[in-house]
Amino acid sequence: MMRASGADMAEDRKSAPFAYDGLDRIFHEKARLGILTSLSGQPKGIGFTELRELCGLTDGNLSRHVQVLEEAGLIAVHKGYEGKRPHTLCQLTDQGRARFADYLDVLEQVLRNAARVTRGDGASERAASPKPA
């Protein structure tokens, strides 16, 4: 109990620079990282089939991850028809977009830490190298 004060907790955090608490598992799982990256680029949403192909997932795997993301309020799933065929559209929610951006900020920090300790900032320099605008 004595160690639970705010000051002590701040001290704990400071002393655990590689705890990476901000790497929320809901985003960090690699299939979901692919799904959210795909959806981020398409504000109007992506059909289930196209999303499956972009992410190289099976129907079952994509369904499972889509359900997890929908239950967390990160994506919206619209079930409808294209002609007579069922068509499922997946779309990032505003909350999903904001929280994914936060996750990406943490990931960027992870990479920067790793570059600093392992490669003398080589990775950051590469990320900063000229590329097409």
The token pair that represents 72 in the structure block = 């967390």
Q: Which long-range contacts (CB under 8 A, 24 or more apart) does 49-56 make?
A: 51/90, 55/31
**53 binds its own copies, rule: CB under 8 A:** yes
> Alpha-carbon distance 90 to 78, whole Å?
6
> Alpha-carbon distance 67 to 65, whole Å?
5
* Residue 58 beta carbon to its own copies: minimum distance, rounded to whole angstroms: 12
Between 57 and 75, CB nearer to its own copies: 57
Q: Which span (1-9, 34-42, 65-73, 77-85) binds its own copies, by CB under 8 A? A: 34-42
**91 binds its own copies, rule: CB under 8 A:** no
**117 binds its own copies, rule: CB under 8 A:** yes
> Alpha-carbon distance 88 to 66, whole Å?
11
* Residue 3 beta carbon to its own copies: minimum distance, rounded to whole angstroms: 13
SS3 85: strand
Between 26 and 76, CB nearer to its own copies: 26
Q: Where are the strands (E) in 7-132, listed by range?
A: 46-47, 75-82, 85-92
Q: Give the residue, chosen from 41, 60, 83, 86, that forms a contact with its own copies under the rule CB under 8 A.
A: 41
Q: Give the residue, chosen from 6, 18, 85, 86, that forms a contact with its own copies under the rule CB under 8 A.
A: 18
Q: Give the residue, chosen from 35, 66, 74, 89, that forms a contact with its own copies under the rule CB under 8 A.
A: 35
